[in-house]
Amino acid sequence: MSRLADLRFRAATTFQRRINPLLRRLPLQTVVETTGRVSGLPRQTPVGGRRVGDSFWLVSEFGDRSQYVRNIRANPKVRVRIGGRWHTGTAHLLPDDDPVARLRALPRFNSTAVRALGTNLLTVRVDLEG
């Protein structure tokens, strides 16, 4: 990883560590809940994305460096809070999907931030149950 990419990653994760606890509490903030791969505890991460039918789509700005992506790799069973309601589902990491094209179909504000800060974009699809 380049020095610039590493610097962007560190700056973004430092900011997210401070803001994410606040965002998680907002009732309409979209949140992905994974199971910690080491602790086994629920881990909630605010995300931007969009529900399309029975799937929820998002793009991780740091791919495999994102803790929630590592948790999904270890256990793909997740919950997603969309519009204040929780949905269970199975997450799929899609390295062959075009994340830049995918971002064009997702909410603009979050997509702009992901493109600006991201160093290793990765598309994630959550197939929602019932």
Per-residue pLDDT tens over the stretch 80-104? 999 999 999 999 999 999 999 999 9
DSSP, collapsed to helix, strand or coil, labels residue 7 as helix
pLDDT score for 100: 94
pLDDT score for 30: 93
Enumerate the H helices of 1-130 as residue ranges: 3-25, 67-74, 99-104, 108-117
Region 22-39: mean pLDDT is 83
Evaluate if pTM is beyond 0.85.
Answer: no
pLDDT score for 15: 60
Reading across the β-sheet that carries 31-35, which strands appear in turn?
Answer: 42-46, 31-35, 77-82, 85-94, 122-128, 55-60, 49-52
Total count of domains within the chain: 1
pLDDT score for 117: 73
CATH assignment of the domain containing 35:
2.30.110.10
Q: Can you give the residue range of the structural domain that contains 86?
A: 3-128
